Amino acid sequence: MKKAALAHLAQSGAEIAVRVTPRAARNMVTVTETGLKVSVTTVPEDGKANAAVIKLVAHALGVPKSALTLTRGATSRDKTFRLD
């Protein structure tokens, strides 16, 4: 996905629902009616998949990684991020 392709979702204070698929064939972000679907190639151990998700979502939104805060779902496939 192009950088800032989802910039219209980047509103300060917004909560973004994300469904994560680890160990995918390739990294990608898609928009669904309930939020974002993120596929990452990394394994879900020691927070590696969460770091990859933050990197991909930040790139898609066109914001720095530090602007995203994981509020729910650190060990779940369903996560919620807050945009600061």
pTM, two decimal places: 0.91
Domain spans of the chain?
7-83
pLDDT in tens, 25-62: 999 999 999 899 999 999 999 999 999 999 999 999 99
Edge to edge, what strands does the sheet with 68-72 contain? Answer: 28-32, 35-39, 15-21, 78-83, 68-72
Give the SS3 label for residue 53.
helix
pLDDT higher than 90, residue 5: no
Topology of domain 7-83 in CATH is: Conserved Hypothetical Protein Mth637; Chain: A; (3.30.1200)
Lowest pLDDT segment from 9-13, 19-23, 59-63: 9-13
